[in-house]
Amino acid sequence: MTFSALTIFILGLVAAVVLVVGLWAYGTANRLDRLHVRSDQSWLALDAALSRRAAVVRAAAVDMSADDARRFVTLADAAERADRQDRELAENRLSNALAAYGTTSLRPQLVAELADAEARVLIARRFHNDAVRDTLALRTRRLVRWLHLGGTAPLPQYFEISERTTAAAVPEGITVDTSRTSARVVMLDEDDRVLLLRGHDPKIPNTYFWFTVGGGLERGEHLRAAAVREIEEETGFKVAPENLRGPLWRRVAIFPFDGELIRSEELFFATRTHGFEPVFQGHTELEQRAITGHRWCSADEIRRLAKSGEPVYPLDLANLLVEAATIADGSEDPEVRSIR
């Protein structure tokens, strides 16, 4: 039995198509598996953050009145013990109670612990929902569903709880004009030098300070997307979102700028890149007036800048560069911790 050239061509074409589809299906199935692992891990991190908040609330109840203490302990216990399907409702009850409760009766260290616990919940929830979004986007594609590439794994679920609409942990007697969340990036070159920008308050033009790349989140924007956008706007350099590690640090700062008092909750990412010359093309008019220069700095150079009277923010950056370099070169996002 002989085959014509056309038959051989068709068979070869079919075999090629089957091979391409098979390779695509194999790669997609592996990617789905990684996304499911990411969703599971993000839920475990969120669960840990929620449990930590419940523990801090129970500790803070010691400083509350008897009625408030009973109410918050009950809410915290109910939230921590709730099943997955009831967890949102229970955690929202606790969140709403915390948002309505004044913290002036609590000791300062408990106020700080509570603010930090709430911030960790906020970060963990955002990362979990990002993981769920990415997983669902792939799982719900028609070809993926037809080929059952997701297997029998259940679809991950978003977790939505209310967040504070006002700043927490602002010292008594201080009125804040603006509260914002900022994404900042420790950009490290081959020699572990960090890219710093030099600036000043437009109202105080002769006092300079140095800071990492980054800025405030826009409405509806996610932390990682904001970090990528800020890098490009402030340096002209493009970084892929997956090349950012973090957030690794959280810093809360209250400072005056351009006639306003700003409370900024800063979340830091780290990334490794090559040394490059920044191109300032995306700066606003205010940033053009406030940012005056840049420099790639080693830890020793950061210390020399601080001694010269030009502080570097965050204040512990010189001592933190080794940690940032280790995380930037790794493949896992670390647990967020507070810095100053």
Q: Among residues of the chain, what percentage have pLDDT more than 90?
A: 28
Distance CA 339, CA 324 (A): 13
pLDDT tier for residue 170 given thresholds of 50, 70 and 90:
very low
In this structure, what is the dihedral angle of CA atoms 115, 100, 255, 296, given to the nearest 10 degrees? 40
Higher pLDDT, 49 or 203: 49
Residue 194 DSSP SS3? strand
Distance CA 162, CA 96 (A): 7
Mean pLDDT, residues 142-153 taken together? 80
Residue 171 DSSP SS3? coil
Residue 311 has φ and ψ, to the nearest 5°, of -65, 155
Distance CA 73, CA 151 (A): 41
pLDDT of amino acid 172: 45
pLDDT tier for residue 322 given thresholds of 50, 70 and 90:
very high
pLDDT, mean over the chain: 84
CA nearest to 339, candidates 223, 224, 193, 186: 186
Residue 324 has φ and ψ, to the nearest 5°, of -60, -40
Helix (H) or strand (E) holding 265: strand 260-272
The domain locations on the chain are 5-147, 178-338
**How far does the chain reach from its first CA to its final CA, in angstroms?**
81
Fill in the DSSP letter of residue 154.
P
| pTM for the full predicted model | 0.56
pLDDT of amino acid 196: 96
Higher pLDDT, 325 or 147: 325
**Residues linked to residue 198 through DSSP beta bridges, in sequence order:** 210, 293
pLDDT tens-digit profile of 256-287?
787 777 778 888 999 999 989 988 766 677 77
Higher pLDDT, 74 or 113: 74
CA nearest to 262, candidates 294, 301, 215, 218: 215
- The CATH classification number of 178-338 equals 3.90.79.10
Mean pLDDT, residues 12-34 taken together? 83
Q: What is the CA radius of gyration of the chain?
A: 25
pLDDT tier for residue 2 given thresholds of 50, 70 and 90:
low
Query: Which residue in this structure is represented by tokens 């710093």?
Result: 196
